[in-house]
């Protein structure tokens, strides 16, 4: 992150303001002393105007994409209740695309509070029931159901019922509002 921050000519104070994060959080992340949440990582990606996949790339924000390559899934969030979010694969670049596998325990809620224009999400419930809320709208999905949403404002995923929810999520960033949804 320090290389990206310095490459953009940003001080820690300037990045803290742009990302709406405490300077101490940034210092801890740069020193490798913190395990940042998905929310913190998304705020940093938005502040740098790169995707989450770009931010996490060890080779820099835009590594070359090979014709065919295996990728290693990475757990980026885990709750004490058995919930988890695994980034299973991602394509970095200006038109970023991510594939996620999520598990939420019964009654567990996860909030995605990043407000990034041009973010779309596709969700498919593999097990259980899931409620998605964005603004004043909400939708309940049963096992086998899917949804799509413009995810450019804070939104919530909540497992409803007794068994929790397992779902897949695809995230596309870089969608232009004039394009058909």
Record the tokens describing residue 35, joined without a space.
């395990």
- 34 against 99, higher pLDDT: 99
Task: Give yes or no: residues 83 and 130 share one domain.
Answer: yes
Task: Give yes or no: residues 86 and 43 share one domain.
Answer: no
Q: Cβ distance 103 to 110 under 8 Å?
A: no
pLDDT in tens, 127-149: 999 999 998 999 999 999 999 99
Domain that holds residue 168: 74-173
pLDDT in tens, 89-101: 887 666 678 899 9
CATH at 153: 2.60.120.10
């Amino acid at each position: 992150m320090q290389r990206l921050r310095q490459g953009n000519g940003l001080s820690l104070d300037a990045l803290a303001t742009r990302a709406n994060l405490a300077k101490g959080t940034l210092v801890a992340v740069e020193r490798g002393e913190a395990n940042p949440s998905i929310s913190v990582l998304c705020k940093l990606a938005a502040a740098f105007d790169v995707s989450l996949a770009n931010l996490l790339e060890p080779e820099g924000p835009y590594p070359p994409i090979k014709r065919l390559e295996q990728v290693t899934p990475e757990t980026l969030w885990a709750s004490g209740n058995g919930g988890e979010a695994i980034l299973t694969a991602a394509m970095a670049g200006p038109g970023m695309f991510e594939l996620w596998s999520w598990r939420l325990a019964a009654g567990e809620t996860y909030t995605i509070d990043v407000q990034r224009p041009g973010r779309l999400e596709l969700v498919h419930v593999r097990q259980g029931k899931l409620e998605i809320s964005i603004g004043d709208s909400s939708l309940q999905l049963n096992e086998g159901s899917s949804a799509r949403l413009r995810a450019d404002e804070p939104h919530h995923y909540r497992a409803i019922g007794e068994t929790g929810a397992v779902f897949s999520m695809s995230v596309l960033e870089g969608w232009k509002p004039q394009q058909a949804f």
